[in-house]
Chains A and B, each alone.
Chain A
């Protein structure tokens, strides 16, 4: 059944496919609204979204408990989940377009590893900072350091792979793997220096979680992620042309170097901000673009916005599982995305091979 559908899509006319992709966007948008509502309505505590909305509509004040749970916990968490999911999925799609490699992922070129190094350093060395600096950075120290790490890695990567104003994608891929290894080794050094309590913090940070979502963190990360998300559609034509190869794209009049610069910048910003607030959440960046390419083809003009919508819905779904399955405790969301994502990814690979073999 699915096989036949994949076949249809592969042979469908481009206009049909564009219309299908637009219909898909509509459905994905509706699905995101539904997941966001569900996310606001679900949780360990019994606070009811509907009762609270009813109270508000009739001008009654909310109870303090409802207000805290809905306004201070669930709403920022839901918005953060949607933003992080969108950022991870879009970054994955952009990176795969940039490298013309369906396996590319911010994790692959060291951007996530650099962010991780920043966060781990902050957790381990934070206590050694002068009291003034601690007071200034406070609870934002870890997110800020993660962000700094992803930017530093991206800049370094860029310096290494750019010669005479031209960036070599192959060099960048290889340099990224080397930088990721270096960042992980330095993280290992930090882990070795960590004390018992820091080690536990590190473990939970590495597994990823949206549990720390607060309005403060949301306001700090949202502008960066939104900027990167809104910039992504402008890359779509360039990435489409790049699929033909850099030389061919150049002949088509695409400003190849500028597209590459912007793509790298947007991935660094979105991934850095996402990792900073939520830790290591895997598989969204790779599963979402693949699912969408199967459903509506590789055109980045539809792929990028659809990836943002689907990534947001999927991460919110995973987060709902993470905070209800062992309530009142919580399962780190990175575990949920990996358990759900890895089999789906394998399934996609098997499907693709069948389609290709046919």
Chain B
């Protein structure tokens, strides 16, 4: 008799657990964590990954490791009832173990485009059962992105600036963005031209290629608010010095996650980049 009662109790518990929304969520991916906070669902988070560094409050959560190098036991030790992860989270063996442990796993599509951001917000909202909040956020982000796109479209073809994204320049060796990467997309979204397009992703480039690319401005990331290479060092590099950007000492620095994260703040980052390139908009419609 007692056994039947216990079994019944367990069944009721299991049923209610399935119906109730997840309350112990591990968020894997910087943009996803940002969206969870924007949706006001942060109280349900119990852990994050190493790339989740914004907002600052997220840093208080335990870190289960890098998005591509998660340890299964580390994630399970947080006793999550939902793992929200970027589609490219891994390694696959870890995801397999999580599935085996029947830990609900929501893989959020991650394409670094304007449409991809809205899609991401919708997917996170659906996984959290916060569709109403997600619809509102998605609508507002889509409107901001549309404003940014309209502004970019209004830049005359001849007036478009050429921007060189420099990922790092240790020892004078410049690692820059070619085509098909987050930086190139953001530059185009801001109505500018990515100065290098002869290769994919981020690669070391020769000094001559940089001179030939003739960028009007250099775009770089800051890390923890610090510039990785200061202006004096940057413009002392012979290749950079010989470009229009070098002559005008035109360098734009933005936070890495803010600029390249493709999350809810990307529209604002694109506007900031456009402001830096073309000056603030005359009317106030572009501002947040």
Contact = CB atoms under 8 A, between A and B. Distances in A.
Interface string A300-336: 0000000000000000000000010001111010000
Contacts of A43: 73, 77
Contacts of A11: none
Contacts of A74: 73
Given A64-B101, A72-B101, A46 B93 contact: no
A197 B72 contact: no
Nearest to B68: A200
A214 B77 contact: no
Contacts of B238: none
Interface size class of A (residues with CB under 8 A): 20 to 34
Interface string B68-88: 110111111111000000001
Contacts of B47: 328
A267 to B, nearest CB: 27
Most B CB atoms within 10 A — which of A43, A197, A201, A212?
A: A212
Interface size class of B (residues with CB under 8 A): 20 to 34
A192 B203 CA distance: 7
Nearest to B49: A329
Given A45-B76, A72-B97, A328-B78, A196 B63 contact: no
A127 to B, nearest CB: 12
Contacts of B73: 43-45, 69, 73-74, 323, 328
Interface string A14-52: 000000000000000000000000000001111000000
Interface in A68-95: 68-69, 72-74
Interface string B181-213: 100000000000000000011110000000000
Given A44-B74, A329-B50, A197 B88 contact: yes
B102 interface: yes
Given A45-B73, A328-B65, A196 B181 contact: yes
A213 B93 CA distance: 8
Given A44-B73, A73-B97, 16 more contacts: A44-B74, A44-B77, A45-B77, A46-B77, A64-B101, A65-B79, A65-B101, A201-B90, A212-B91, A217-B93, A327-B77, A328-B47, A328-B71, A328-B78, A329-B50, A330-B74
Interface of B: 47, 50, 62-66, 68-69, 71-79, 88, 90-94, 96-97, 100-102, 181, 200-203
